[in-house]
Amino acid sequence: MSRPLTLAQSVAAQIREQILSGEIKGGEPLRQEAIARKFDASIIPVREALRQLESEGLVELKSHRGAVATELTLDKAREWINLRRLIETDLISAAIDKITDEDLARAEQVLGRFDRALDQRIEIDQWSDYNFEFHSMLYAPAGRPETMKLLATLHKNCDRYIRLQLLDGDHIERAEAEHRELVELCRKRDKRAAKSLLHDHIVRVEEDIVEALSK
């Protein structure tokens, strides 16, 4: 059973969703006093929430300006996605020899929920969580918890870019097909093919985001 959110976590979750959905625009100031009034909270949990969002790359804490929402920029997106490519191809290579049928079954269960949400265009705020949970099921056998913590932050940073990418064109259908193929390659323990597919999968995400942000 998951623990209830603290006040700071609850404030962070609601501000996070406003940033990711575009309700709060990049560069928009986040005034602590106004946030505290809105959530009927003191300044302390608001500051904690903003520091959490800063660690996720969604907020910048600037001297003399306070907190502002991070701007959606192509350079940041490409850097984060390139880091994902390097880390994830290494993780799948380390994990595939150790992966079990139980690991794959759990990954497929998550993928089923993810596909349903994508197909019905529902739970959009959960898409990034489903995506990371699916991938992490495949990487967990590598036994690299510190790397997974870093990767979790990168996925959070990429959240709004990934939503932008998936909601455009036929990218949902392609992502679903590639995820299914990745599971099958892991089941066959085909390390070279799995690593190649994952590399191309993440490169195509970058290409899609470049196209979406260039419109």
Q: Are 138 and 103 in contact (CB under 8 A)?
A: yes
Indicate the residue type of 162. Answer: I
Q: Are 185 and 145 in contact (CB under 8 A)?
A: no
- pLDDT for 2: 45
- pLDDT for 20: 73
Shortest CA distance to 164 belongs to which of 47, 72, 52, 76?
72
Fold of 74-213: Four Helix Bundle (Hemerythrin (Met), subunit A) (1.20.120)
DSSP element (H, E) containing 40: none
- pLDDT for 54: 87
Angle at 19 between CA 207 and CA 33, to 5 degrees: 155
Task: Kindly report the CATH number that applies to the domain delimited by 7-69.
Answer: 1.10.10.10
- pLDDT for 16: 84
DSSP 45-88: HHHHHHHHHHHTTSEEEETTTEEEEPP--HHHHHHHHHHHHHHH
Residue ranges covered by each domain of the chain: 7-69, 74-213
Proportion of the chain in helix, strand, coil states, percent, rounded to 5: 75, 5, 20
Q: Which residues of the chain have pLDDT under 50?
A: 1-2
Beta carbons within 10 angstroms of residue 9's beta carbon: 15
Separation between Cα atoms, residue 154 and residue 133, nearest integer Å: 13
Separation between Cα atoms, residue 2 and residue 178, nearest integer Å: 31
- pLDDT for 168: 66
What is the reported pTM?
0.74
User: Per residue in 82-121, is it b (16+ CB within 10 Å) or e — as a string?
Assistant: ebbbebbbebbbbbbeebeeebbebbbebbeebbebbeee
Per residue in 60-69, pLDDT (tens digit) is 888 777 899 9
- pLDDT for 215: 63
